[in-house]
Structure 1
Amino acid sequence: MTAAAIAVFTVSYVLIATEKISKVKAALGGAAVVVILGIVSAEDVFYSHETGIDWDVISLLFGMMIIVGVLRQTGVFEYTAIWATKRAGGSALRVMMLLVLITAVASALLDNVTTVLLIAPVTLLVCDRLGIKPTPFLIAEVFASNIGGAATLVGDPPNIIIASRADLSFNDFLAHLTPIAIIALIVLMLILPVMFRGSFTVDPTRVADVMALNEREAIRDPRLLAKSGAVLLVVFAAFIGHSIIHIEPSVVALLGAGILILISGVDREDYLGSVEWETLLFFVGLFILVGALVNTGAIATLARLAADVTGGNALFATMLVLLVSALLSGVIDNIPYVATMSPVVGDLVADIANPVHSDALWWALAIGADFGGNLTAVGASANVVMLGIAAREGHPISFWEFTRKGAIVTTLTIAVAAPYLWLRYFVFA
């Protein structure tokens, strides 16, 4: 069964990467095959937390898509687009830097998927106003969301899994991961002008038109904006304090969406029209495919093989976990990878006497999974969501267009993370 699961996953992945057929068809088709072959059962698919569909992720996405759909009716995205463009003086490069910075900070406070859902409409409007291609901006923002999301416990779903397994607090993540997230963000912002050279030419007439606009006039429904803003603030507060109130972000998003639908009076077509159904279905297929690898032990076997070669050397184990996590998270999505790798790291930690060195393993797992999410178009949930939005708005981003840039960003951010781990936990511990 293991060989069959690997074969089906490989074929599906190749189809997704080459875009020979729709990625949704490739993912759902592969999912159907592993179910028909009996590699996973209905119980595995629908009810297993380890091998099934991650309903928390699906519910979080669905709820936030509805909230964004209601917000879209207020004109707040147009307001933000005009505001950002004017603050950047109409410079496309400065607009990108500003949006990247906003995305990174927001991803640390919320989570990277929610941030992408909120920032993408703004980006599309900015680029439309300036008459420039939005693709580089959207890709840069995804990179920033995965880097910024690494900074806190709530910023990226893998961090929540690691915190639960290792009994780490919100403040632990702030103290240990925020510094490297800031360093990685600086690296990203330094390479963006080079990586996307030729993408920042703007028609001066377009710039003059935008600078002459009054952003306040873009708000079409102030009352709806007030209602939406109040609900959104409560949702954000619940996201940040979910470890205290013990309500999962997915439930918070669904409750927020339901309340907003009730009090907004927005037509069903308006709020459901913003739901990225194809993105949700792609996630369903991907979760089932990865679940088949988990169910047959393929991922755990690979992870343990990597762990077994460390020979009890804490520094070697830390670097190996970092590199393996970056590579595998970029290929199979960092959420199921971390769920599978966490017990392996737990076993390694138990064999290391020095608590500082053992902590380094958990931070290596988190950094590798979060930064590694930038490696390919399916490496993190935020990537899939952003590509889905781009395709829907008529600006499709191919798997390889994203991955070519993602490989550069992942390589450089992991390259700065390795000495950070070495210096902080082994040299200056």
Structure 2
Amino acid sequence: MNVTLVIFTLVYVAMAFGKLPGFRVDRTGAAVVGTLAMIVFGAISPKAAWDAVDYRTIGMLFGLMVVSSAFVVSGFYAWLAQRVATMPVSPPTLLAMLIVVGGVMAAVLTKDVVMVAMTPLLVSITMARKLNPVPFLLAFCFGVNTGSVGLISGSPQNMIVAQGLGLSFSGFMKVTMLPALLSFPVVWAVVAFMYRGRWALPAGEGAAPPPADAIPPLDKGETIKAGLVTLLVMAAFMSDLWPREIIALSAAGILLLNRKIASKDMLGQIDGNLLLLIMGLFVVNAALDLTGLPQQLLHDLRDIGVDLNNPVTLCLVGGMLSNVIGNNPTVMLLTPFLQPGADADALGAALAVGTGFFSNLVVFGSLAGIIVVEQAARCGVRISFAEFSRAGAPVTVCCLVIALAWIMYLT
């Protein structure tokens, strides 16, 4: 038990700090090494380790990543970013459009892929308009984080919550879509207020328009094909007639079987590190579960009045913990110990909305936040930790009010 607890602690220290202190081991590396250590030291058997990995979540996530990658390689993301960002509208109106576009795309096509594809494009296009890219990048990121809450397909943590609590696609949407939509005007109002009068770049810092070959041309045929497949996936999810992972993987197979686009180009857009991270955490968490320590801890917490099966408590605890170890680890840690029963919808909403809405508090509160800061830096735009939180904190507080009011209504 002591060895198991030490390994588990080290893995989650890496989740909190982004790497294992003293080593060049990031979150994914820590999850993989932790898995191997659990097996080597006998904390979990190889068979139990394989069984611990939820193939349904991994299959659905991989399939939806392939679907989203089809829009990347077809040039749709680049075309959409250029069309929206070059429209002759005022900066506040452009801000609102990016929030809605980002939030809706994230809910359907998985938020992390959307952030990777759109961030460098938004930097290039806003600077070409001599606009300060920071408020637009932050608003897009905040909208992606809150909008992704609306559908199971929006993020890995949504998939884990739905699988763990037995929620259908339509059932999940019924309890998360409204707060996700209500978050959009909140994000817009906060960011527009905080950056009022600071929309333009300082003199001399403008950028030339991106060269024509920097933005891939739109392949209308492939975009239409990807769009039709996505619509069929959503319809199949809604029908709830087939397992969600089978639907997503079937869609991936259809899109990979392509005469124009190489499968390696599509698979190159897949975030393999994220898949390995989630698989590793399934095993690490299962090994700790075998010690009985989590059950004892939950019992002790209940004795002092902290009941994770209370939706309001779960929302707050899940949200705060997600800013320490990340969204996906938090959901994976808490979901197995919930007792849904008649409150499954409220608990699902509490965990999904709590971790999603709290994501905007600090940079490392979500992978989307890390992506936007790191990719912006590669494009020459610096978003500091303080600047992210200066806008993200009031967004989080205001969205939290919406979340708590909604959860209390559900209960």
Per the normalisation by structure 2, the TM-score is: 0.75
Q: Which residue of 374, 381, 386 maps to 2:360?
A: 374
User: What secondary structure is seen at the aligned counterpart in 1 of 2:96?
Assistant: helix
Counterpart for residue 275 of structure 1: 269
- Are residues 1:71 and 2:67 paired? no
> How far off its partner does 1:146 sit?
2.3
Q: Note the C-alpha offset of 1:82.
A: 3.7
Per-residue Cα deviation, 1:289-325 (whole angstroms, up to 9, x for no partner): 57424521366665554445448898xx232112111
Q: 1:323 is matched with which residue?
A: 316
Aligned-partner Cα distance in 1 for 2:114–2:360: 15
Q: Which residue of 1 aligns with 2:6?
A: 4
What is the identity, as a one-letter code, of the residue corresponding to 2:52? S
Give SS of 2:224's match: helix
Distance 1:64 1:406 in 2: 30
The reply on whether 1:246 has 2:243 as its aligned counterpart is yes
Q: Does 1:180 align with 2:179?
A: yes
Among all aligned residue pairs of Structure 1 and Structure 2, give the percentage whose two residues are the same amino acid.
21
The 5 A counterparts of 1:7-406 are: 7-13=9-15, 15-16=17-18, 25=26, 27-29=28-30, 31-32=32-33, 35-36=36-37, 38=41, 48-49=52-53, 55-56=58-59, 59-60=62-63, 63-64=66-67, 66-72=69-75, 76-89=76-89, 91-120=90-119, 122-132=121-131, 134-196=133-195, 200-202=199-201, 224-242=219-237, 243-248=240-245, 250-252=248-250, 254-259=252-257, 262-265=258-261, 275=269, 280-281=272-273, 284-285=276-277, 288=280, 291-297=283-289, 305-310=300-305, 317-346=310-339, 349-350=340-341, 359-383=345-369, 386=372, 389-390=375-376, 393=379, 395=381, 402=388, 405-406=391-392
Cα distance change, pair 323–265 in 1 and its aligned pair in 2 (3 A): closer
- Assess if the C-alpha contact under 8 Å between 1:100 and 1:140 holds in 2: yes
**In 1: Cα distance, 2:82 partner to 2:110 partner:** 25
The 1:54/1:132 distance shift into structure 2, 3 A limit, reads farther
Q: Which amino acid aligns with 2:314?
A: V
In structure 2, list runs of 5 or more residues that go unmatched.
none
TM-score by length of 1: 0.72
Q: Distance in 2 between matches of 1:397 and 1:250?
A: 35
Per-residue deviation, 1:169 = 3.6
- Following TM superposition, by how much is the alpha carbon of 1:47 offset from its aligned partner in structure 2, in angstroms? 5.4
Q: How many residues align?
A: 399
Distance, in Å, in 2 between the alignment partners of 1:25 and 1:370 is 22
Q: Is the 8 A contact 2:65 2:113 kept in 1?
A: no
Unaligned runs of 5+ in 1: none
The amino acid across from 2:228 in the alignment is L
- Name the SS for the 2:338 alignment partner: helix
- Sort the Cα spacing of 1:182 and 1:390 in 2 relative to 1 into closer, same or farther, 3 A: same
Deviations 1:20-64, CA, capped at 9 Å, x for gaps: 986x646415642563463566656665325x9964476247525
